């Protein structure tokens, strides 16, 4: 009898948590039967790629595992882990986070895209992975590469994010967040070791067919100097580290809005970004961008169009400043709520403001099929 009671108690202990937990498998597959990409620059050889073994022309293919659990007392826990899927089916790191929510709001920690990386949710209603928006591959306003330059600091997905969403205040939502990423500073091997800290705030307002959003973030990166190599640097000058210490501060601010008119929905956004050298006080990069978009649903077909215009002022006077512009056109045909065909084409262009010549032009067209599960 006692054995039966013990077995029942063990079974109950195992079954109770399972009764409250809800675990799901989800994901997206985006495959491109046709993909064309052309990069043209004035400083390097032009590249042109076409093929059918492509993926992620509209969004990023991924597989995820998530779940929720009722902890009682109005408190709920949730988790999510997912992996990106490339054209060959290989997995790549993406998100992993845990959250707690209740009457106090919601606390979320882990690796994920920060709330301040939301400019693309307003002015660009089409494909996120095809050229033509100010947040597409190689021309991304949030990570400082919109003008075709090198990455100045990524405000988006990263490790060590702590995000707190306040309880909803009617139509207003406010999110606060910070991120800390640093490497182990080994005195024997410090070259390139960088510590990053980021803080940000975002506000969203939604009522009826109107959505408004605004965000501001500041990001600081400090890179240690490398130890001396045999007492001299690369030029033979004694007493100078082989890799100099660096400190930069980047600031990102954007405003956006959208309104659904019924026959069409319109979107607009404006963003500014600055990157400063904290050691010298010099401005490394200062840019701004304005984007407009429209979405027109016609039964199973949805058409979108967007344009953006901006400029980027760089450190070397006006000789390397850029005029920025781009456009994107897309069409989707829905087979169901989870499956659609798409055609997306767009172009990013960066022109030298002094000479008027093209510094970088990316033209891309993708035809694909997306299925969510």
Mean pLDDT of all residues in 222-247: 62
Is 273 exposed, middle or buried (CB count within 10 Å of its CB: 0-12, 13-18, 19+)? buried
pLDDT in tens, 306-358: 999 999 887 656 566 888 999 999 999 999 999 999 999 999 998 887 776 66
3-state secondary structure labels for all residues of 36-105: EEEEEECCCCCEEEEECCEECCCCCCEEEEEEEEEEECCEEEEEEEEEEECCCCCEEEEEEEEEEEECCE
Please tell me whether residue 224 adopts helix, strand or coil conformation.
coil
Domains of the chain in start order, with CATH, are 25-372 (2.40.160.10)
DSSP 158: E
pLDDT of the residue at 228: 55
Residue 267 above 90 pLDDT?
yes
Residue 243 above 80 pLDDT?
no
Residue 18 above 60 pLDDT?
no
Q: 235 or 354, which is more confident?
A: 354
Lowest mean pLDDT among 128-132, 185-189, 216-220: 185-189
Tokens representing residue 203 in the block: 């506000």
C-alpha span between 191 and 195 (Å, rounded): 12
Share of the chain above pLDDT 70, in %: 79
Q: Give which of 305, 294, 300, 299 is closest to 264, Cα–Cα.
A: 294
Is 299 exposed, middle or buried (CB count within 10 Å of its CB: 0-12, 13-18, 19+)? exposed
Q: Give which of 163, 117, 159, 122 is closest to 140, Cα–Cα.
A: 117
Looking at the whole model, is its pTM more than 0.85? no
CA dist 132 to 198, 347, 349, Å? Answer: 28, 4, 9
pLDDT of the residue at 190: 54
| Stated length of the chain | 373
Q: 151 or 56, which is more confident?
A: 56
pLDDT of the residue at 121: 82
Residue 119 above 50 pLDDT?
yes
Tokens representing residue 339 in the block: 């499956």
pLDDT in tens, 177-194: 999 887 555 555 555 677
pLDDT of the residue at 6: 45
* Residue 168: CB atoms within 10 Å: 11
Q: Which of 7-11, 119-123, 201-205, 231-235 has the highest mean pLDDT?
A: 201-205
CA dist 83 to 10, 79, 136, 235, Å? Answer: 35, 14, 20, 44
Residue whose entry in the numeric block shows the structure tokens 């400082």 = 144
Mean pLDDT of all residues in 269-297: 86
Please tell me whether residue 5 adopts helix, strand or coil conformation.
helix
């Amino acid at each position: 009898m006692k054995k039966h009671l013990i077995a029942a108690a063990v079974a109950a202990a195992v079954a109770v948590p399972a009764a409250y937990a809800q675990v799901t498998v989800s994901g997206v597959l985006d495959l491109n039967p046709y993909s064309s990409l052309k990069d043209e620059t004035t400083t390097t050889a032009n590249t042109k790629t076409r093929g059918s073994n492509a993926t992620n022309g509209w969004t990023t293919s991924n597989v995820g595992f998530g779940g929720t659990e009722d902890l009682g007392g109005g408190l709920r826990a949730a988790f999510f882990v997912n992996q990106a899927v490339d054209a060959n089916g290989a997995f790549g790191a993406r998100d992993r986070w845990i959250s707690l929510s209740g009457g106090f709001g919601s606390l979320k920690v882990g690796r994920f895209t920060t709330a301040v990386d939301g400019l693309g949710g307003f002015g660009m209603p089409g494909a996120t992975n095809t050229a033509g928006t100010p947040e597409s591959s190689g021309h991304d306003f949030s990570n400082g590469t919109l003008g075709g330059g090198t990455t100045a600091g990524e405000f988006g997905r990263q490790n060590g994010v702590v995000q707190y969403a306040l309880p909803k205040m009617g139509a207003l939502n406010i999110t606060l967040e910070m991120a800390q990423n640093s490497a182990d500073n080994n005195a024997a091997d410090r070259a390139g070791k960088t510590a990053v800290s980021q803080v940000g705030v975002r506000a969203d307002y939604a009522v009826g067919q109107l959505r408004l959003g605004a965000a501001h973030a500041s990001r600081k990166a400090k890179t240690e100097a490398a130890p001396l190599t045999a007492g001299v640097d690369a030029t033979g000058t004694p007493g100078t580290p082989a890799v100099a210490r660096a400190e930069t501060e980047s600031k990102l601010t954007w405003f956006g809005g959208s309104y659904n008119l019924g026959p069409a929905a319109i979107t607009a956004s404006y963003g500014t970004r600055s990157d400063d050298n904290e050691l010298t006080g010099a401005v490394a990069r200062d840019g701004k961008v304005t984007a407009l978009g429209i979405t027109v649903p016609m039964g199973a077909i949805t058409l979108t169009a967007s344009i953006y215009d901006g400029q980027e002022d760089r450190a070397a006077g006006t000789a390397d400043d850029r005029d920025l512009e781009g456009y994107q056109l897309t069409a989707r045909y829905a087979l169901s709520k989870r499956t659609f065909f798409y055609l997306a084409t767009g172009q990013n262009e960066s022109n030298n403001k002094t000479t008027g010549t093209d510094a970088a032009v990316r033209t891309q067209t993708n035809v694909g099929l997306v299925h969510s599960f």
